Structure 1
Amino acid sequence: MNIANRKYWKEKAGRDYQRQQAYRIETGNSAYRRQEDWLLSYLEQERCRRNLDRPLRVLDFGCGFGRLAGPISTLEGIAYHGYDFSSAMVADLLATPPPALADVIRDRVRVADTVEAAFPGECFDIIFTISVLIHNSEDQARELISQMAARLEREGRLVLIENRLVAATLFQNNWHAGCWVHAFADYAAALWDVSVTEGVTDQHGVYILAPPDEGRQGRLTYRKASEPRERPVDLDQLHVLALPNTLDQLRSLLNGLPDPSGSFDSAAQARVHDLSERNAHLERLIGEMREARATRQRLDATLGATLGRKRPREADAQPNQQGALVTDSASPFSLWNARSDTRYAHDIPGFHHVLHVFHKEWFGIRAAAGALPGRKLAVSADPAKGRALRETVHAILAAGLQRIVFHGFSDNTTAIVESLASHGLADRMFLVHHGGTTQWINSRERHYAFGIIDLLRKGCLRKAHFMRPGFDFPVRGLFRPMLFNLSPRHDAPDHLRGDPRPATVFAPGWAGWIKNVSTNILGAALSPAVDEIWVYAEDLALPPPLDAKLRHLTFCGREDTFRRMAASQMCLNASLIDCHPVVNLEAQSVGRPCIRGPLFLDALENHPYVGLTQVDDVSGATQVKAAIERVLDVPPAEREQLTRDYQAQSDAIAIDRYREFLEL
């Protein structure tokens, strides 16, 4: 590394470099994610292969702002360490470390002129670099490889995720005060076993260096990432394989070879490159904003002419109690603090800087999140374009939040979480999954659950919670005990009080097999104590003569549903699969019991309300019938008091556990 190059990296702030990477990710650069995926998988394989009686010691050589610190520190059986020679690059990592490193960050991440000075006498099982050696000349890269080799355990590995395979070392450009492409296999041939992998990303090659068995020279192997096995090659064969990349590199230099001597002001040119990249990013955003504004104006003109009214101006919007503006003209992708999402929320001190993010389309999860204290953001589950995601991320960044809780999952969730994590918010993000492994037979549910685990592995989330008792997985950040949903809060509950209609029950669930509504209504119809069964689902039916008890209602919103719940004797929701069902909480919030299946909650299972309302075999209509009659045998006032007592205790547990989950 020449003087100018070294000076550039000494002075470069890690936060600035992190921002540059975020720009590239926003423009569709997938290399960072693919690097992480490959490296995390490789580390897991090495941990299993070595089978040590201690954690695998891993050193991130040139760790910078700590892009890999979070993901690696969450892996079981792996101890992350970081080294860099630039205190400016690691400042943010030391100041705000990932949760798993918070207590040991000063010991695990060190700054010094050399790795020997940083970790004197210490050795590691794996030392890896990502785009570090490319900022050094050939002599300097060889020297750094020797320094890393001296810090390896006997069966250790050097993992170099650097430039693509080339047949000769070439100076590439003046980015970041100088970049080279290195013929790493030439440097290591005969001294190491070298495994070359191409295709992990379009821009990088992977070189794994391992000490050869005693008494023999090193061997070379090669494979493409898409191939199942590597194959042995010699150096000449490797040079032939490297020719296409080498020729591409030479062609890129035809317009004039850059000067690697340091005679020019390379640091200044590096700053020019950085500013050019930032300027291109800003120009792209400005262009998108102009396009969005023009589109909005066209829509305003069209809708104004059609509807005979103008779109409300932002200046006319009224701030809600949490301070965010809400208008009827919400973004089609995201909607902040909508009335429907805040109307039934509890107002509890300590939660005002908490944001709950959920999907517009998933009504059960949306209702559950809507009852929780804090701010609300509803986003679409439909695949979104980059602009909508960027606008949402920027709005979250500007909101001054202490905690961000994602409820449910989609590919948009992944994009938002990863983008926020790249801005340093991983330590503030939490996720609640309202599903269980039974649903993994569905490929979409499986994809979502696996995606959450992957975000934990990468360190993009502080914690995640799967709302099913007994769920576990070997990844850091899973929260126990079980989170409870909160019942909706009613501003004026008096209109929901009064005597219910005699012999009337309400089964508001949709007709899917999971909700088991058919068994519920059959059990109700079999009871002579029930005269009328209210349902929403249009495709529900019973055979005669029981069908005479069935009455189909039109759904007219949640407030109307609460009135109907209050007007019935009880609700029916003995479902096959449920976490902590919102239907039950809605009924209980107006003092009406809800027939339920076993929920296996880790609290209140001995409360007399559970014994009164629970059906042990939810597939048995006669058991549903027995539970309905059991409830009706209790006097209405006593029944309501029992229901409200149970729900009050459940709500208290919900708040306490969310405080614990969010560390408030």
Structure 2
Amino acid sequence: MRDDTQLQIAKSPEASAPSQAQADEAESSRYWKATSGYTYREMVRMRQDAGNQGYAQQEALLTTLMKREQRALGRPLEVLEFGCGFGRHASYLASTEGIRYHGYDFSEPMMEPLRQAPPVGLGPVEERLFCGPDALTAVGGRTFDVVFTVSVLIHNPPERLPGLLESLGKLVRPGGLLCLVENQLVPFGVWENAWHQGCWLHPYAELTPAGWDLHHGGGLLATHDVYVLKRNTSQTRRFFQLQSVEQPRDERQALTLESLHVQSLPRLRAWTEHAGEVLRAGDGLQGMRVSELSERLSVELKRSERRQRLLSLSDELVHLRAAPPEAARTPAAPPASRYANDTVAENVVVDAPLDTTWAHVDPRLSRVVHIFHQEWYGIRAASGYAPGHKIGITANRTLTATDHRRIVETCETLGARSIIFQGFSPNALEVMHMLRRVFGSAIRLCCVWHGSTAQFHFDFELETFSRLLTLREQGLLDAVACVKPEMHLMSPLLFQKVLLNLPPRIAREDQRHRAPLTRAAFVPTPNNWWKNFYSNVFVAASLPGMERVFVTSPFTARQELPLRASVINVGHLNRSELFNLIRETDVVLNVTLAECQPMTALEGLAHGVACLTGPLTLGTLDEHPFQRLVQIAGTGSLGQIRSALERVVGLRERSPEEYAQMLEDYTQMLCDQAINHYLEFAQP
């Protein structure tokens, strides 16, 4: 975003004679073509850290607008951002379900971060990103359902606006929208300031072409207005008020141009007041340029310092591994039972399809990076469903200096603001030290412990938990959270709220809660006593009407056991195979004696298949009818498990619509709370 929240005037509007306008345009063009996208992204980050809330507001508004248009269209929405720059909006729109994002910019240096590290969903890059002096030529005749700009037109002199709007209109398909998130409403164009070699306030109502409707949204954003333009059939200009981007646009009562001029007076009044202040100060243009150069110098100094620290990573790694044992003490390797699969081809993977295909998307978490261990199946799944970028490291092999450099450079390229370590290991500890050394306090380092106090009989779990508290107290970690409720009673150093795992993001057509019963159940737990394996299998296989029970662990069938259903061992499943099996079943059973937030319960929920569990203690979520339906207080009671199983299967067969609505309501409630907790944890 090319944005300025200050208002300073260095010369009067009358100074913009044609020759001056051409000079201003050339200066502005040279500025953006010479500006590094990495540098500008850092400038935006600094403004956000200083309290600028405008960026988050714009991202939330555009997300809502795009989702609404996609739902109304009923097919993938083709979107083009005019002036995409380093990819602030691409970072979340490209991975939003149902949206095909495209970006155009005339500055290759500004686009470099986006090309080098495209967000999930933006591919192939050569077909989705365009650069050239003219957008119409660059996109090669393509048209789009929505074309939008954010603080781009303000950097073009008034003489260019009619031609630009005409070009943007040609990029919009019939029935499509042109959405401008630009300067607040003014009655006529004025030269605002010299920020980024020139900013203007443009009168978009006056500039609306014949044959277009303009819906003006004032007050939807703190520092900008929203202008949604759509072709009409009258070949005239019509004006309407845009009350919200969530609701259908109201065209029952048109506004007059004069009434819009009245609405524009506050912005014009603010312009004149600041103009007087700057003229009295007498240093408008010089002061603005000094301010901008100071901001840019600060950014470049920070980037230079990071590059120097990055060069010393190899030395730092040697230093860490040579530290005395008591100073660098880390937990021993966890039990082999924690691993689902220890076959890892690469030490480090970035945004792998396994970790992004089913991820939720939230623009507020687009600068979060999750670091997890590829071998730890459940934690990898929890990480993969959460919003943000993903880096998978190995837990079983030593990371090299090249691996560390790749992790650091990836975080730099992605513009990470928060790193969340999902789980802990000696390798994770080394990466924490590296990131802290390179980025200092510019990036927030957090860690999530996925265990519970019931697991403290494993030395690994107790030592890991204690070590994380020490790292939090020492300041290497900024925050530590748990997925088990009320763990903050163990230490005030822990995040007060439970970090909720999210279900995978599944397309509606892949859900099956309204499909006919299959007379099959699924028990995905390991075969050990605390997972209560035989209790789950016995109850499912002895239920009248149940024909098949799928298990992933070896099962010894005894003739003495009165089992009605066939028990089928499907063995280890990859993620897609697991999802396909869930869709073939009526219910999942995961009633264990000690549990946090079982991933199979969340994966079943996403596919419209209920999962029986023991008590999860999830606060207000436990009061939802769905949790009252599936949670079992007496996890060792075969009778209670059977009663719950009969309730779930009976409701699904008797009232599939009620069952489906219950699951959908709970899923939405869970996702909302999970995202909010992540926001508090990662970005306090």
Structure-1-length-normalised TM-score: 0.50
Q: Alignment partner for residue 401 of structure 1, among 408, 416, 423?
A: 416
Q: Is 1:377 paired with 2:391?
A: yes
Q: 1:651 to 1:557 in 2, by over 3 A?
A: same
Instruction: Report the Cα offset of residue 518 of structure 1.
Output: 1.5
Q: Return the alpha-carbon distance in structure 2 between the equivalents of residues 454 and 537 of structure 1.
A: 38
Change over 3 Å in CA distance of 1:592–1:447 after alignment to 2: same
Per-residue displacement from partner, 1:283-315 (whole Å, max 9, x unpaired)? Answer: xxxxxxxxxxxxxxxxxxxxxxxxxxxxxxxxx
Inter-CA distance 380–513: structure 2 relative to 1 (3 Å threshold)? farther
1:27 maps to amino acid: V
| Paired letter, 1:437 | T
**Within 5 Å, which residues of 2 pair with 1:411-490?**
411-425=426-440, 427-472=443-488, 477-490=493-506
Q: Distance in 2 between matches of 1:379 and 1:535?
A: 29
1:536/1:553 contact within 8 Å kept: yes
Shift of 1:542: 5.1
Indicate the residue corresponding to 1:503 in structure 2.
Answer: 519
Give runs of aligned pairs for residues 265-276 of structure 1, distance below 5 A. none
Q: Work out which of the residue numbers 360, 363, 379 in structure 1 matches 2:374.
A: 360
Q: Distance in 2 between matches of 1:641 and 1:540?
A: 38
What corresponds to 1:291 in structure 2? none
Distance 1:540 1:404, change over 3 A: farther
Say whether 1:351 aligns with 2:365: yes
Q: Cα–Cα, structure 1 residues 368 and 37, in superposed 2: closer, same or farther, change >3 Å?
A: closer
| Structure 1 residue 593 displacement after superposition | 1.1
Deviation at 1:561, TM superposition (A): 2.2
Q: Does 1:643 align with 2:671?
A: no
In 2, Cα distance between equivalents of 1:16 and 1:565: 48
Q: Say whether the 8 Å CA contact 1:500–1:568 is kept in structure 2.
A: no
Alignment partner, residue 539 of structure 2 = 523
On the 8 A contact 2:320/2:430 being kept in 1, the answer is: no
Contact 1:487 1:586 in 2 (8 A): yes
1:564 counterpart = 2:586: no
How many pairs align?
A: 362
The RMSD of aligned alpha carbons is: 3.1
2: CA distance between counterparts of 1:16 and 1:349?
28
Contact map agreement 2:356 2:390 (CA 8 A) in 1: yes
Q: Following TM superposition, by how much is the alpha carbon of 1:594 offset from its aligned partner in structure 2, in angstroms?
A: 0.9
Task: State the partner residue of 1:629.
Answer: 646
Q: Does 1:26 align with 2:317?
A: yes
State the distance in 1 between where 2:559 and 2:474 align: 54
Which amino acid in 2 is paired with 1:559? S
Match of 1:609 in 2: 626
Q: C-alpha displacement at 1:20, in angstroms? A: 9.6
CA shift, 1:383, in A, is: 3.7
Distance 1:640 1:542 in 2: 37
Deviation at 1:628, TM superposition (A): 0.5
Worse-matched range after superposition: 634-643 or 361-370? 634-643
- Name the CA distance, whole Å, in 1 between partners of 2:444 and 2:541: 50
Q: Deviations over 1:622-641 (max 9, x none)?
A: 22111101222322332222
Q: Go from structure 1 to structure 2 and tell me whether the alpha carbon gap of 1:545 and 1:513 turns closer, same or farther (over 3 Å shift).
A: closer
CA distance in 1, matches of 2:508, 2:659: 22
User: CA shift at 1:24, angstroms?
Assistant: 4.3
Preserved contact between residue 591 and residue 641 of structure 1 (Cα < 8 Å): no
CA distance in 2, matches of 1:564, 1:544: 29
Q: Report deviation, 1:506.
A: 1.4
What stretches of structure 1 of length at least 5 have no aligned partner? 1-12, 39-328
Q: In 1, are the aligned partners of 2:486 and 2:498 still within 8 Å (CA)? A: no
Q: Which residue of structure 1 aligns with residue 611 of structure 2?
A: 594
Pick aligned residue for 1:619 from 632, 636, 642: 636
Q: Decide whether the 8 Å contact of 2:313 with 2:404 is kept in 1.
A: no
- Gap regions ≥5 residues in structure 2: 1-303, 330-342
Match of 1:654 in 2: 674
Q: Is the 8 Å Cα contact of residues 588 and 611 (structure 2) preserved in structure 1? A: yes
1:577 and 2:594 matched? yes
Q: Distance in 2 between matches of 1:488 and 1:416?
A: 27
Correspondence 1:531-546 to 2 at 5 A: 531-539=547-555, 541=557, 543-546=559-562
How far apart are residue 390 of structure 1 and its match? 2.5
The answer to whether the Cα contact below 8 Å between 1:511 and 1:540 also exists between their aligned partners in 2 is no
Q: Which amino acid aligns with 2:456?
A: W
Structure 2 residue matching 1:603: 3-state secondary structure: helix
| Mapped partners of 1:33, 1:20: distance in 2 | 24
1:158-189 deviation line (CA, Å, top 9, x unaligned)? xxxxxxxxxxxxxxxxxxxxxxxxxxxxxxxx
How far the C-alpha of 1:545 sits from its partner, in A, is: 4.6
Deviation at 1:574, TM superposition (A): 0.8
Does the CA contact (< 8 Å) of 1:519 and 1:621 recur in 2? yes
Cα distance in 2 between the residues matched to 1:16 and 1:644: 48
TM-score, normalising length: structure 2: 0.49
CA deviation string 1:440-481 (max 9, x = no partner): 111122232222122212211110102212223676642121
Give the fraction of aligned pairs with identical amino acids, expressed as a percent: 27
